[in-house]
């Protein structure tokens, strides 16, 4: 039996294709008879952009029965794809020649690209975060990391008295203190590169061969902490990326809206009274 | 010296009596009535004598003919004793909701909903003077009174039972934290009833064995037949046969009434709780009767390796052992023992109907549709490699890891459990922000909690079937909304005793330091902060249902009724 998610996506894609075909057909029909078809497609594109922006407003009004955010996001994505077809129809498949229009078109494409990238990223990252484990609330990660670093330092210092050797403490100071003390390998985690952790683990394994049993025990505990810290860095890096993309997408959206309003003013100011006949 | 504006008297249980104006004369009169006059004062603790309980936990209510006293399906926190007049209990199937005047919980007005955009306080946990000052006894069941006109016509073919002075009703719902099973109407021109909060009833029952026995006898006399009738296998029986079954039925009570403490200890120790649970019926034993779950939960498990694998959990209205007994009755030559074990999880009330009664009275006339099919050779010969296969359906779709998790953590208790699919959750916290926006800028849950198989159960009130948080509440501040059944806290009567927060097995209730509308922390006379209990109220007064679920863009968060595993399995594989 087909899953509801698959069914929903299939229906969405079919509807989108139908809408794009209808748009294309309508555009072909109207092009010969309507002199200022760009006005119609322009207003339509503006309406679509306003609808897409309204999703953010919906998020700010959770206490009103304005529909589920899930449905809004679905509509946001599919209407967003449709807007691309509308944009192409509006520009007539040509890159604008004027600087302002070129900037406007670039901004539109940047918004669209950031939206698609964000959607894809938000489908990929949760699975990665879940598979990796070390689940932590983003805001609590610094506190957890600090506690981990303090515990590791206390363990390393205590090992000096307990084992009458500075081998583990020296190793901690040289190779682990810096790693445990601050977020590390942000980009590498995004790219799923595990070599930094493997390097530290190799160093631990290397030292382990030369230690007495009680020192090994301490080193083993430190190794667990290192793995936990790496997991926290992983969580931080990926969760941050999920938060940051919205800081790209939303400001670009509002910039686009401002330029669009200017675009409308300019078009009407210099159109010489042309209308959509 | 003047009392600072933000300093108030600390509230105690006695400061929130059920009836703040209970006249002494009435109290004397009630204390002189049976069964209270026959109770031994010495059996009550000195710091909480019977008279104190009666004063703080009871009140007198008067009803007119045709007036509804309790409605079937409502959640009630109190029981009633008839002082004068008669009442009529309408037995199931009962009256339709329209006749009963059932209403949806009150929502905010549209303006107040929109006003949350600007009217929410900037400081956290602000309380109005009314919420801080104590509002007298919480009365979650109060509301406009509903009268039935032309009672005989409305009752129609429904059977009724008349109760008179000295009789109790409503105690099952009050003590088991379950919905009321029947509607009760006033059947006199003027009836006088003593309403007893469940806290008071619990304390009296704890100290007086005679009343306990009296209430059990009343249950057997008035309610048992209907309780049995609610199970399909008894529906074909006539009155005489049902009376035969009722006479032989045994009551069973297992586990601790306040099971939260034991559970927390087990969870903390990381012990596999199956080994600690009381066995109600053991796999491999002779099936000596069918066990019907009246309230609470049981764990259905099967031997697997050297342990027990959980196959399902059985809640109120489910039964155990019927299939084996029907199999043996059909084919006595190939008798089989219990195929599974049933263990108590938490606190469970059962009805036990012996095999002999089942074979002689119930099974012979039972329609084929109600009889479970015989155990097949495949089922009987199945090895232990995958007992979930035998259960098939949703148990298999949920998988062994999650089944153990849901049972071990007692997640099955939730009717609105916040489950998060971590493979979809982008950790955007839109759910937390939506919750805060709808609760005066105070999020009422934490997006963290135990995880199994990629499913997280967040620290949010689950609005439990068996809300153990209510057990210790001295004022009844934490109660069930009468119609929606959600567990909510009356801020005006919450005295900040932390009992509910300590009792909640899921850490879903948080104590907060209250502020006044000026943003200052409120303190008592000893300058200690005034605490209030807070938790998810399931957006009971908001439009559109829980804001958290509606705010999730990725379909990752769901408020799930975990008593319906089929729905959960469907959601998992959506």
Token couple for B11: 């509230």
All residues of chain A having their beta carbon less than 8 Å from the beta carbon of residue B422 are 126, 129-130, 135
The count of other CB atoms within 10 Å of the CB of residue A36 is 13
Inter-chain touch A62–B425, beta carbons under 8 Å: no
Inter-chain touch B550–A69, beta carbons under 8 Å: yes
Q: Check residue B511 and give its pLDDT.
A: 96
B111: enclosing H helix or E strand:
helix B110-119
B534-552 exposure pattern, b = at least 16 Cβ within 10 A, e = fewer? bbbbbbbbbbbebbbbbbb
d(CA A159, CA A214): 9
B297: enclosing H helix or E strand:
strand B289-304
Inter-chain touch A129–B574, beta carbons under 8 Å: no
Q: How far is B556 from chain A (nearest CA, A)?
A: 9
pLDDT digit string (tens) for A191-217? 999 999 999 999 999 999 989 899 999
d(CA B491, CA B442): 14
Closest CA to B341 of B386, B277, B403: B277
Question: Please, how many CA atoms are within 13 Å of residue A42, restricted to the half-sphere of its CB?
Answer: 19
B235-260 exposure pattern, b = at least 16 Cβ within 10 A, e = fewer? eebeeebbebbbebbeebebbeeebb
Collect all residues with Cβ–Cβ distance below 8 Å to B89 and sequence separation of at least 6: B160, B161, B162, B163, B169, B182, B183, B184, B222
Closest CA to B438 of B543, B555, B559: B543
Token couple for B181: 């099973």
d(CA B345, CA B347): 6
Q: What is the pTM of this model?
A: 0.79
d(CA B354, CA B362): 11
| Cβ contact B403:B301 at 8 Å | no
Closest CA to A68 of B549, B420, B422: B549
> How confident is the prediction along chain B (574 residues), in pLDDT tens digits per residue?
456 666 666 665 566 788 888 888 999 999 998 888 888 888 888 888 889 899 988 999 999 988 889 888 776 778 999 999 999 988 777 777 666 665 666 777 888 888 888 888 989 999 988 888 654 444 444 444 667 666 666 676 777 888 899 888 888 788 776 778 888 999 999 999 999 988 888 889 888 888 888 887 878 877 788 889 889 999 999 989 999 999 999 988 888 766 776 677 666 665 556 677 889 999 999 999 999 998 888 888 888 887 888 888 888 888 999 999 999 999 888 899 999 999 988 778 899 999 999 999 999 989 988 888 888 877 776 655 454 554 456 777 888 889 888 888 889 889 999 999 999 999 999 999 999 999 999 999 999 999 999 999 999 999 998 888 887 677 778 888 866 778 999 888 888 989 899 889 899 999 999 999 988 999 988 888 999 999 999 999 888 889 999 999 999 999 999 988 888 999 999 8
Residues of chain A numbered 232-271 and touching chain B (CB < 8 Å)? 239, 242-243
A14-34 exposure pattern, b = at least 16 Cβ within 10 A, e = fewer? eebeebbeebeeebeeeeeee
Question: Torsions phi, psi of B238, nearest 5?
Answer: -85, 175
| Cβ contact B131:B530 at 8 Å | no
Token couple for B300: 């259905």
B347: enclosing H helix or E strand:
strand B341-354
Inter-chain touch A63–B437, beta carbons under 8 Å: yes
Residue of A nearest to B544 (CA): A65
d(CA A152, CA A169): 10
Inter-chain touch A135–B422, beta carbons under 8 Å: yes
All residues of chain A having their beta carbon less than 8 Å from the beta carbon of residue B117 are 60-61, 63
DSSP lists the bridge partners of residue B162 as: B88
The count of other CB atoms within 10 Å of the CB of residue B554 is 18
Helix, strand, coil percentages (3-state) for chain A, rounded to 5, are 80, 0, 20
Q: How far is A123 from chain B (nearest CA, A)?
A: 7
Residue of A nearest to B112 (CA): A63
Q: Check residue B191 and give its pLDDT.
A: 94
Tokens 């959980």 — which residue? B310
Residue of A nearest to B550 (CA): A68
Picking from A64, A68, A137, the nearest residue to B448 by CB comes out as A137
Q: How far is A251 from chain B (nearest CA, A)?
A: 17
pLDDT digit string (tens) for A138-178? 999 999 999 999 999 999 999 998 888 899 999 999 999 99
Closest CA to A227 of A157, A152, A116: A152
Picking from A61, A65, A70, the nearest residue to B554 by CB comes out as A70
B115 Cβ under 8 Å from any chain A Cβ:
no
A72 Cβ under 8 Å from any chain B Cβ:
yes
| Cβ contact A54:A250 at 8 Å | no
Inter-chain touch B553–A63, beta carbons under 8 Å: no
Collect all residues with Cβ–Cβ distance below 8 Å to B231 and sequence separation of at least 6: B292, B317, B319
| Cβ contact B495:B474 at 8 Å | yes
d(CA B445, CA B455): 17
All residues of chain B having their beta carbon less than 8 Å from the beta carbon of residue A59 are 430, 433, 551
d(CA B252, CA B255): 10
| Cβ contact B290:B325 at 8 Å | yes
d(CA B507, CA B484): 23
What is the side-by-side order of every strand in the sheet holding B190-197? Answer: B58-64, B190-197, B78-84, B168-169
Picking from B113, B423, B430, the nearest residue to A64 by CB comes out as B113
DSSP lists the bridge partners of residue B313 as: B299
Interface test with A, best of B111, B427, B428, B558 (most A CBs within 10 A): B427
Q: Check residue A235 and give its pLDDT.
A: 96
> Which band of pLDDT confidence, cut at 50, 70 and 90, is reported for residue A277?
very low
């Amino acid at each position: 039996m087909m899953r509801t998610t698959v069914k929903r996506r299939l229906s969405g894609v079919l509807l989108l294709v139908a809408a794009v075909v209808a748009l294309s057909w309508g555009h072909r029909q109207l092009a010969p008879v309507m002199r200022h078809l760009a006005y119609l497609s322009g207003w339509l594109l503006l309406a679509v952009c306003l609808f897409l922006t309204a999703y953010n407003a919906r998020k700010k009004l959770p206490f009103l029965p304005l529909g589920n955010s899930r449905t809004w996001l679905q509509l946001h994505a599919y209407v967003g794809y449709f807007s691309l077809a509308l944009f192409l129809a509006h520009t007539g498949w040509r890159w604008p020649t004027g600087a302002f229009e070129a900037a406007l078109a670039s901004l539109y494409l940047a918004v669209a690209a950031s939206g698609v990238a964000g959607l894809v990223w938000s489908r990929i990252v949760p699975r990665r975060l879940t598979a990796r484990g070390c689940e932590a609330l983003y805001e609590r990660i610094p506190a957890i990391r600090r506690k981990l670093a303090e515990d590791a330092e206390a363990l390393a210092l205590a090992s000096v008295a307990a084992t009458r050797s500075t081998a583990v403490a020296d190793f901690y100071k040289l190779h682990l203190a810096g790693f445990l003390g601050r977020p590390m390998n942000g980009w590498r985690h995004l790219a799923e590169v595990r070599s930094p952790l493997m390097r530290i683990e190799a160093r631990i394994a290397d030292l382990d061969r030369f230690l007495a049993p009680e020192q090994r025990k301490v080193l083993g505990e430190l190794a667990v902490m290192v793995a936990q810290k790496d997991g926290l860095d992983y969580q931080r890096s990926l969760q941050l990326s999920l938060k940051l993309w919205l800081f790209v997408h939303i400001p670009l959206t509002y910039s686009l809206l401002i330029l669009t309003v200017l675009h409308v003013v300019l078009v009407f100011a210099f159109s010489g009274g042309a209308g959509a006949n | 010296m003047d009392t600072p504006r933000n300093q108030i008297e600390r509230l105690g249980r006695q400061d929130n009596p059920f009836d703040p104006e209970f006249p002494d004369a009435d109290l004397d009169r009630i204390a002189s009535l049976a069964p209270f006059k026959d109770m031994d004062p010495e059996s009550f603790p000195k710091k909480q004598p019977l008279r104190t309980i009666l004063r703080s936990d009871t009140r007198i209510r008067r009803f007119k003919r045709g007036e509804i006293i309790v409605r079937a399906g409502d959640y009630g926190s109190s029981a009633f004793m008839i002082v004068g007049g008669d009442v009529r209990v309408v037995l199931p199937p009962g009256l339709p909701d329209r006749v009963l005047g059932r209403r949806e919980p009150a929502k905010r007005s549209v303006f107040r909903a929109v006003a949350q955009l600007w009217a929410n306080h900037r400081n956290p946990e602000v309380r109005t003077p009314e919420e801080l000052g104590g509002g007298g006894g919480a009365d979650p069941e109060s509301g406009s009174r509903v009268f039935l006109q032309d009672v005989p016509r409305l009752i129609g073919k429904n059977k009724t039972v008349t109760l008179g002075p000295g009789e109790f009703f409503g105690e099952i719902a009050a003590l088991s934290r379950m919905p009321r099973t029947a509607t009760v109407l006033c059947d006199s021109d003027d009836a006088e009833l003593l309403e007893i909060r469940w806290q008071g009833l619990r304390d009296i029952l704890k100290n007086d064995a005679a009343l306990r026995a009296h209430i059990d006898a009343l249950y057997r006399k008035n309610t048992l037949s209907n309780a049995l009738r609610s199970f399909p296998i008894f529906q074909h029986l006539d009155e005489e046969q049902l009376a035969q079954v009722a006479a032989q039925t045994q009551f069973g009570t297992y586990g601790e009434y306040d099971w939260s403490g034991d559970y927390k200890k087990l969870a903390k120790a990381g012990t596999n709780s199956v080994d600690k649970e009381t066995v109600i019926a053991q796999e491999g034993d002779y099936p000596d009767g069918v066990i019907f779950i009246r309230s609470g939960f049981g764990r259905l498990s099967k031997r697997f390796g050297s342990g027990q694998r959980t196959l399902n959990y059985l809640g109120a209205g489910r039964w155990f052992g019927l299939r084996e007994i029907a199999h043996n009755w059909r084919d006595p030559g190939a008798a089989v023992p219990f195929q599974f074990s049933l263990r108590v999880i938490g606190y469970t009330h059962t009805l036990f109907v012996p095999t002999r009664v089942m074979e002689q009275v119930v099974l012979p006339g039972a329609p084929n549709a109600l009889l479970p099919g015989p155990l097949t050779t495949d089922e009987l010969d199945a090895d232990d490699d995958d007992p979930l296969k035998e259960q098939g359906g949703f148990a298999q779709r949920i998988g062994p890891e999650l089944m153990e998790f849901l049972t071990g953590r007692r997640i099955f208790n939730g009717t609105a459990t916040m489950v998060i699919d971590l493979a979809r959750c982008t950790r955007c916290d839109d759910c937390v922000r939506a919750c805060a926006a709808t609760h005066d800028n105070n999020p009422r849950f934490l997006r963290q909690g135990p995880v199994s198989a990629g499913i997280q159960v967040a620290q949010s009130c689950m609005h439990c079937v068996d809300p153990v948080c209510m057990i210790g509440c001295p004022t009844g501040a934490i109660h069930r909304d009468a119609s929606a059944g959600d567990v909510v806290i009356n801020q005006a009567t919450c005295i900040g005793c932390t009992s509910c927060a300590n009792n909640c097995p899921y850490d879903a209730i948080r104590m907060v330091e209250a502020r006044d509308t000026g943003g200052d922390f409120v303190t008592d006379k000893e300058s200690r902060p005034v605490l209030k209990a807070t938790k998810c109220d399931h957006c009971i007064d908001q439009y559109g249902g829980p804001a958290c679920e509606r705010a999730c863009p990725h379909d990752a968060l769901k408020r799930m009724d975990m008593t319906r595993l089929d729905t959960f399995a469907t959601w998992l594989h959506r």
